[in-house]
Structure 1
Amino acid sequence: MNPAYLAFEGDRRIAAGSLAEVARAAKQLLDRSKDAAILVFNDQTSTLVDIDFRGSIDDVLARLPKPERPADADAPPAPRGPGRPRLGVVAREITLLPRHWEWLAQQKGGASVAIRKLVDEARRSSGDRDRTRLSQDAAYRFMTTMAGNRPHYEDAIRALFAHDRRRFATLIADWPADIRDHAMKLAYGDQAD
């Protein structure tokens, strides 16, 4: 299982795991070295996580961002009546042209069933492309933050988006090991050397 978060201090990866584990390790390092500069990343998206490291470890952990929950998650479950279970269905608004609504109304099961089938089919047919795009985006964000001033950065980004794995690996070969290895993992996942 991949860790959910990573922390880097300079060029070195110092922690990986849950947000609490990473925050604890980062806070311990900051307590030992006041001039440390730590960046915490979401491991899947490479977005930076803002953590307030003031106070004790318990203070830091208490202020960590909470996972998002639906607004009605704390509400007691509604009494069940006849019919199908909710199955996590979320009602949201979509905007379509009249011709789209007409077509949907003619489909067996109605508009909701037709839209779910269309979305499922699109997910099946574009799954690999979507995974590749998300991997490239995460690698790009990480590389921009951690290696934007490294030699061959721009050429490595071009190789990443050109799907040239060999050239990408060659261009980042001289980067610090933790940065290089994580960039490869993000860009190529299980295919990384």
Structure 2
Amino acid sequence: MQTELTQISCTAFVGGESIAKGSLQHVVATVKDTLDDEEIARLLIFNDLTGKPIDIDFRGKTAEVLQRLSDLAGHTADAEESKQPSRRVGRPKLGVVSGEVTLLPRHWDWLKSQPGGASVTLRKLVDEARRSGKYESEVRAAQEASYHFMTAMAGDFPQHEEALRALYAGNRDRFYQLIDDWAPGIRDHIKTLAENAFIKEET
């Protein structure tokens, strides 16, 4: 978890200009070493996966800022570890972990009648659902990331609402047309975030 927190991909902006991109740890160190206090006060760092801003305490020297970030990551990792069950049931060496499933009798009857039994059938059903839902999940994630970033950085830009409607309608050409005159740094980052919002489902 510590690695995930400090290494998540993010982008830093001062005004409409992108001034650093990379892992959170890299971006924090870069902006701390290159920006003055006034610029840091106007700084916004965004998670590239979610489009949401990340709050960082920039007080002190670079080493102190990075240490606080590392400590935060460690606390998060400890909290996640405490949620994990202390005993794993199943066949862990084979990657099989047992869990509880609650179904009605008719569901169990149907599962038991399938070739391979209940466990094999459930695994097949889950895999099929994951495959069929991958397209919708990618589109939805790209839409949400774009929405969060656009709301934070382009909420007062012209045709903002129209651009959001085009985004959720999946109209790539209209979306690009509406944001074309926006600040280049912001516009280009939006295009990156929105890339999967316009993917076509594979047939």
TM-score range normalised by the length of the shorter chain: 0.7 to 0.9
1:158 maps to: 165
TM-superposed CA distance for 1:167, in Å, is 0.9
Query: Which residues in structure 2 correspond to 1:29-48 (within 5 Å)?
Result: 29-31=34-36, 33=38, 36-48=41-53
Q: Partner of 2:73: helix, strand, or coil?
A: coil
2:136 maps to: 129
For residues 148 and 94 of structure 1, what CA distance do their matches in structure 2 show? 45
2:81 maps to: 71
2:124 maps to: 117
- State the aligned residue count: 185
TM-superposition CA deviations, 1:130-180 (whole Å, max 9, x none): 211111111111111110111110000000011111111111111110110
TM-superposed CA distance for 1:12, in Å, is 0.9
Select 2:65's aligned residue among 45, 60, 84.
60
Structure 1 residues 149 and 190, CA gap change in structure 2 (3 angstroms): closer
For residues 184 and 59 of structure 1, what CA distance do their matches in structure 2 show? 35
TM-superposed CA distance for 1:189, in Å, is 4.8
Select 1:85's aligned residue among 93, 98, 119.
93
TM-superposed CA distance for 1:100, in Å, is 3.4
Q: Which amino acid in structure 2 is aligned with residue 85 of structure 1?
A: K
Select 1:182's aligned residue among 179, 186, 189.
189
Structure 1 residues 28 and 86, CA gap change in structure 2 (3 angstroms): same
1:138 maps to: 145
Structure 1 residues 34 and 170, CA gap change in structure 2 (3 angstroms): closer
TM-score (norm 2): 0.75
Structure 1 residues 27 and 104, CA gap change in structure 2 (3 angstroms): farther
Q: Which amino acid in structure 2 is aligned with residue 128 of structure 1?
A: Y
TM-superposed CA distance for 1:28, in Å, is 2.8
Structure 1 residues 99 and 163, CA gap change in structure 2 (3 angstroms): same
Contact 1:135 1:188 in 2 (8 A): yes
1:9 maps to: 14
For residues 27 and 50 of structure 2, what CA distance do their matches in structure 1 show? 16
TM-superposed CA distance for 1:191, in Å, is 8.0
Q: Which amino acid in structure 1 is aligned with residue 45 of structure 2?
A: V
For residues 100 and 43 of structure 2, what CA distance do their matches in structure 1 show? 41
Q: Which amino acid in structure 1 is aligned with residue 93 of structure 2?
A: P
Unaligned runs of 5+ in 2: 1-7, 83-87
TM-superposed CA distance for 1:6, in Å, is 0.9
Contact 1:29 1:36 in 2 (8 A): no
TM-score (norm 1): 0.78
Contact 1:14 1:25 in 2 (8 A): no
Higher relative contact order (CA 8 A, sep 6+): 2
Q: Which amino acid in structure 1 is aligned with residue 19 of structure 2?
A: I
Q: Alignment identity in percent?
A: 48
What RMSD over aligned residues (CA atoms) do the two structures have, in Å?
3.4
